[in-house]
Amino acid sequence: MNLLKRYPDACLGFLGVLLVVAGSYGLSDVPRNDATLADLGLAPMTYGHGKTLSGFAFWTGIALMVIAWVRIGRSPERMSLRATMATVGAWTAPLMFAVPTFSRDVYAYLGQASVLMHGFDPYTDGPAHRPGPIVDSMAQIWAPTTSPYSPGFMLLLRGIVGITGDNVFAGVFAIRVALLPGLLLTMWAVPRIAAHFGASRRLGLWLVLVNPMLLIHLVGGPHLELLMMGFLAAGVALALEGRHVAGLAVLGLAISVKVTAGIAIPFVMWIWLDHLRKRRAADPAAPTPLIAWRDRVAIFVATGAIPAAVFGAFTVILGLGLGWMNGLSYASRIINPFTVPIFVGHIVTYAAAPFATLNLQAVLVVTRAIGSVALALILVYLWWRSRRDERSAMAGMAWAMLALLLLEPSTLPWYYTWVACLAVAFTLPMWVRQVVVGVSTFYLIVFQPDDSILFYKPLETLMALAFAVLAAVSLRRRDPLRLRGLGSLLIHG
């Protein structure tokens, strides 16, 4: 009771998590051809009135989590750093037992690992080579595709499937346990990144880990981005603290989970050079604060070589070469209007409809190609522009991740971890926080727990947009709909 009085918003969110987990057993995409739910007596939750009740519980839980998150975000300094971390832990624990929600990617992880464990090459052979309950549970579009996952993550998955076999529920739980170090590393690194630049540590955790959209996707999903984010944030934090070699080695672990983390690595060079420049400027014995070209070249080489060595070690251990690059092309199968190239492709086809029938796939080939060229130019520009000092390097790193998010072939909600764990370095103005709340709420509604998407249904999309705007406005105003005034009017006439 004392805990409820001291931290009512955290407790409200915890209740929401419990309802989300309970609802996931009827509303999310449960493993196929698996008798676990029936053995537990939970099968009735997946149809009829049971499914209706599951839906009510799930969406009520989502609403409570968003309300709690917004209330905490209005004044995050009221909650101590330890209490904020405890809130993250409390909200995470029940999600460990949810049915995979909002995505079936975890089944694809297990499918790729099963292929690897049984002697196939997942970089040339899809999960369909090993039929069974794991493949049945996957989104079938991915069953014949090869793995895009980095060698470090594939080694981790092979170890998990070696223990859990074809038991899908056990495999999902084991993956969640294996990804938990990413959560712990993020909780360690985010406050350090924020404090290094004078930003709020608690607001940083609020943005990244108290965020219901990210937390549910990362843990309830679950997704490898949780582990990648932990290594990414920890590597950057170590580099900012002057432990550049260790930081780059940890960033090597990050790209060994997902190569996207490599976008951050070139910016560490500027951080390292800035630290060297400041040390020489502070040393009266130094002949000059200027950095010799040989030092610049040495740091440039080390910045690339250290993470490459870590990635190379995992590649050698796995023994399958660079085959993961084959699987990256399958990202083009994901089509949603949440990247600029796909959004523009939709606009072009709709605008041309009265005059000509354009095939969206053909249009996307052009818009994605333009987006890729634009992305390459933007990344080079951001890297060169960020050479002044560590703060500009950190800003360039965050903008580079955002550019990747907006211009790559496809973007999904959990990808926002890439930029969120870096943006904590800066004191974000209220309007930016409102945008984060609005986008997060919108994604929580548009992406459905059974892995479907509502964006192409106008009424549902408008409803999601309305709730997103309401959540964003509520971050600044406690009663945007003036319900208290309406209640008072009804009571007192």
307-328 mean pLDDT: 87
Flag the least confident range among 13-17, 113-117, 327-331, 468-472. 327-331
363-390 mean pLDDT: 93
Residue 43 — pLDDT band, cuts 50, 70, 90?
low
Residue 220 — pLDDT band, cuts 50, 70, 90?
very high
pLDDT of residue 481: 57
| Residue range 198-213, pLDDT digits in tens | 999 999 999 999 999 9
Residue 488 — pLDDT band, cuts 50, 70, 90?
very low
Flag the least confident range among 328-337, 371-380, 466-475. 328-337
Q: Which of 388, 424, 6 is nearest to 209 (CA)?
A: 424
| d(C-alpha 46, C-alpha 64), whole Å | 23
Q: Which helix (H) or strand (E) covers residue 240, if one does?
A: helix 225-240
Domain boundaries, the chain: 2-334+412-474, 335-411
Whether residue 155 has pLDDT greater than 60: yes
Q: 414-453: string of b/e by CB count within 10 Å (b at 16+)?
A: bbbbbbbbbbbbbebeeeebbebbbbbbbbbbbbbbebeb
Residue 490 — pLDDT band, cuts 50, 70, 90?
very low
Q: Higher model confidence: residue 19 or residue 145?
A: 19
| d(C-alpha 77, C-alpha 71), whole Å | 12
pLDDT of residue 492: 47
Whether residue 1 has pLDDT greater than 90: no
What's the mean pLDDT when you consider all of the chain? 88
SS3 61: helix
pLDDT of residue 295: 84
244-266 mean pLDDT: 95
Whether residue 38 has pLDDT greater than 80: no
Q: Which two tokens stand for residue 416?
A: 């926002």
Whether residue 286 has pLDDT greater than 80: no
pLDDT of residue 489: 40
What residues does 447 pair with on adjacent strands?
Answer: 453
222-240 mean pLDDT: 96
Is the bond into 222 cis (omega within 30 degrees of 0)? yes
Q: Higher model confidence: residue 263 or residue 146?
A: 263
